[in-house]
Structure 1
Amino acid sequence: MELRQLRGFTAVAATGTVTGAAERLGLSPATVSDRIRTLERSLGVELFERKPNGMVLSEHGRVLLPEARRLLEHAEAIRRLLADTRPRVTIGTLETLIATRLPAIIGRLGDRRPDLDLSVRSMMRAPLLRAVSDGELDAGLLLDTGDTLGALGFTPGPELSFVDVGTVRLFLVARPGHPLADTGSVAPKELSGDTLLVTPPGCSFRMAAERLLGPAGKRIEFDSVSTIRAWIIQGLGVALLPEFAVAGDLADGTLVALGPPPAELALRVVWREDRTDARDLREVLYAMAA
């Protein structure tokens, strides 16, 4: 067995086709096919069932796959050791999370993995998910809810895994004196006379507002959470905003919460489980969650 054959094998297993594996590895389909056939001959077994719509792992292939990944991970660790290079992880996330939540996470990671170099890129969710799926990013940090990836209302790639590293509480806030400020709870229909200030479609806070508050009330859309906060302070509407944006205002009475926190979003790291270095990356991500 050769490492290049194992790389071809794991790539075909991940993509389901020789063409997809070739695109991932930057090789021709003929080269990938040759490596798979050579590996099968050396082992004396068939690793895939060839079907009209792609390649499916055989029983022998399913046995080999985790071992092949471990061999490739070990080979990469040896390469880094001999080259005396520090492992690097590149994470993409929203600008607001970079400023408010990422420092504490990086601090935890630094305590547990001082050998690691970390770089961060500011990206919106859709391009972030594409970049993780394409291997341009090692991982992405985003907001979500529920027990499955994308339950907030977006569609992730099927190959992505996740681990939760924290939470973000959301508050429905208004200027003091709002008639619902002391009611203890707020039903969506009670907001029909209010102007709801929202972020653009696709934003996590907008998705949460649509799920919790429904279509009630007039909406005005802004790109910036800070702009929405400024309008609310002037009494020009209400909004569902993250705790990190309004905690100080709630503490000093500049803003009031309408009822208890209506939602809590998960701060979630996503990555590709089928990467050849997935085990090392998974250890890094769980260190972030520790």
Structure 2
Amino acid sequence: MKISELLAFVTVVETGNITQAAERLNRVQSSISHRIRSLEDNLDVTLLDRKADGCSLTAQGQILYDYARKILNLADDCKNNISCSKNRQINIRIGIIECLPPYIVSALIDLGHDLGWNIDISVGNTISLLKAFDHNEFDAVIIGAGFSNTQHTSSTLLTSELVIITEKDYPDIKDLSALDGEVFLLSSKKCATTTRNYNLLFNEARITPKRVVECGSYPVLFSSIAAGKGVSLVLRCSISSEVQNKIKIHELDGQFNDFRIELVYRTDAMQIEGTKFKGIMNSVFQDPRLNAPGY
């Protein structure tokens, strides 16, 4: 039985004849008659007593009519709920710092697909992302810890370590002071997190760099390091296996092992409850690749 056949049958019963049913459904009479006959053939019964003054239900026709009304009502409810769900689709705007590996962005895109969310992702630096968040341009931002304030709702997503990277043949760094006078490369001078970490490194090791060069992006930074154009301080998980094979990684300790990434998110005006959203974001950062280089 098809919905169109049940609709034709119910309309004939309610209008009293095939002619009026055809007019109501904007169909030709032969189409309505064909659908009624199809139902009768399928069920092997006569559903309507056809008379000159109209149609009336047989006993079997009455049984089908009662079920048909329920089926049609359920079909209408189904269509209405699907339509409403489209209108209620969750839209989330997320900003994310560029030092995180690209598979995090891919995971967020996959998450949106799996949950049926529209997730718009923008990549930037901590200060610009937080400023945009405060201007209601994002529902959540994933940034370096230490820049949000007490008015923000935040949660730590990841604690990782920073490492020094150099060209492959660079000698082992036994003392950070050995980096004095080196050219230091960074992706962006606008990145407050990177600037803070570099200042910490320079002050702790009493390093005066020959110069600090802005590369504009992480791919350019990594290729420049591999070519021996300088050294850099980066988050360990940002190093891909391809990059790892072309550079040398030097471990750090102390406060450099406590680099934190945090989620700043709205508790109001967002289409999903804050605790649930935080849990979903935390699940993205359970990726084991974040704990070792060479993704």
TM-score (norm 2): 0.55
DSSP-derived class of the 1:173 partner: strand
Q: Is it true that 1:230 corresponds to 2:223 in the alignment?
A: yes
Instruction: Please give the alpha-carbon distance, in whole angstroms, between the structure 2 residues aligned to 1:90 and 1:271.
Output: 10
Is residue 170–residue 241 contact of structure 1 (8 Å, CA) maintained in 2? yes
Q: Does 1:192 align with 2:141?
A: no
- Aligned twin of 2:172: 180
- 1:89 counterpart (85, 89, 92): 92
- 1:107-150 deviations in whole A, cap 9, x for unaligned? 45665xx1432222234322321222232311111122xxxxx2
- Contact 1:225/1:241, CA 8 A, preserved across alignment: no
Q: How far does the alpha carbon of each residue in 1:221-278 deviate from its partner, in whole angstroms, 9 at most, with x for none?
A: 21323323222212222111233443425642x21122347435323210234x2558
**The structure with more radius of gyration:** 2
Distance 1:289 1:259, change over 3 A: closer
- Residue type of the partner of 1:289? N
Alpha-carbon offset, residue 98 of structure 1: 7.7
**2:162 and 2:252 in contact (8 A); partners too:** no
CA RMSD, Structure 1 to Structure 2 (Å): 3.2
1:202 has 2:191 as partner: yes
Q: For residues 86 and 108 of structure 1, do their structure 2 counterparts lie closer, same or farther at Cα, with a shift above 3 Å needed?
A: closer
Please give the alpha-carbon distance, in whole angstroms, between the structure 2 residues aligned to 1:178 and 1:166: 30
| Letter in structure 2 aligned against 1:209 | Y
Q: Tell me the number of residue pairs that the alignment of Structure 1 and Structure 2 aligns.
A: 195
Report 1:208-219 matches (<5 A): 208-214=197-203, 216-218=207-209, 219=211
Residues of 1 paired with 2:272 and 2:88: CA distance?
A: 18
Q: Is the contact between residue 174 and residue 238 of structure 1 (CA under 8 Å) also seen in structure 2?
A: yes
Question: Is the Cα contact below 8 Å between 1:167 and 1:265 reproduced in 2?
Answer: yes
Q: How high is the TM-score relative to the length of structure 1? A: 0.56
What is the distance in 2 between the residues matched to 1:249 and 1:103? Answer: 18
The answer to whether residue 290 in structure 2 is matched with residue 286 in structure 1 is no
Could you say what secondary structure the match of 2:221 adopts? Answer: helix
Q: What SS does the corresponding residue of 2:280 show, helix, strand or coil?
A: helix
1:266 alignment counterpart? 260
Listed as ranges, the matches of 1:68-217 within 5 Å are 84-97=87-100, 99-107=102-110, 114-144=115-145, 150=146, 154=147, 156-181=148-173, 183=174, 186-187=175-176, 189-198=177-186, 199-214=188-203, 216-217=207-208
The amino acid that maps onto 1:284 is F
Q: Is the 1:94–1:142 Cα contact (8 Å) retained in structure 2?
A: yes
Q: Is the 8 A contact 1:108 1:288 kept in 2?
A: no
Deviation, structure 1 residue 213: 3.7
Distance 1:158 1:81, change over 3 A: farther
Query: Structure 2: how far apart are the matches of 1:108 and 1:221?
Result: 36
Provide structure 1 residue ranges, at least 5 long, that are not aligned to the other structure: 1-79, 145-149
Aligned partners of 1:123 and 1:250: how far apart in 2?
A: 22
* Cα distance change on mapping 1:191 and 1:280 into 2, 3 Å: same
Q: What is the aligned-residue identity percentage? A: 16
Whose RCO is larger (CA < 8 A, sep 6+)? 1
Give the Cα–Cα distance (whole angstroms) in 2 for the partners of residues 242 and 224 of structure 1.
14
For 2:158 and 2:107, the matched residues in 1 are separated by: 10
CA separation of 1:245/1:95 partners in 2, compared to 1, >3 Å: closer, same or farther? closer
Indicate conservation of the 8 Å contact 2:125/2:190, yes or no. no
Alpha carbons of 1:89 and 1:265: their partners in 2 closer, same or farther (altered >3 Å)?
Answer: same
Structure 2 letter corresponding to 1:226: P
- The one-letter code matched in structure 2 to 1:172 is I
